[in-house]
């Protein structure tokens, strides 16, 4: 798959992924009060954001024909 995520988009994805992961872990360790399902959703979002940011490739962008590179 060709790269279709630019540097600014990549930095934003990695930053948001890191924040989502930290919040997910905080919920799981009871440092934040929220339902467990929120931690699961944030954890999955974190994995997707970090992976797409690291690989500079977004499948949804490819389907929609978007290229921020």
68: helix, strand or coil: coil
Kindly report the pTM of this predicted structure.
Answer: 0.89
pLDDT tens-digit series, residues 25-49: 999 999 999 999 999 999 999 999 9
Q: With contact defined as beta carbons under 8 Å apart, do 21 and 43 qualify?
A: yes
Q: How far apart are CA 1 and CA 58, in angstroms?
A: 9
Residue 22's contacts (CB-CB under 8 Å, 6 or more residues apart) are none
| Burial (Cβ within 10 Å: 0-12, 13-18, ≥19) of residue 13 | buried
- Joined together, the tokens standing for residue 10 give 């990549």
């Amino acid at each position: 798959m060709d790269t279709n995520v630019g540097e600014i988009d990549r930095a934003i994805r990695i930053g948001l992924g890191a924040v989502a992961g930290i919040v997910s872990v905080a919920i799981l360790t009871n440092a934040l009060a929220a339902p467990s399902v929120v931690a699961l959703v944030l954890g999955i979002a974190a994995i997707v954001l970090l992976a797409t940011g690291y690989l500079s490739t977004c499948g949804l962008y490819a389907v929609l024909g978007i290229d921020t590179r």
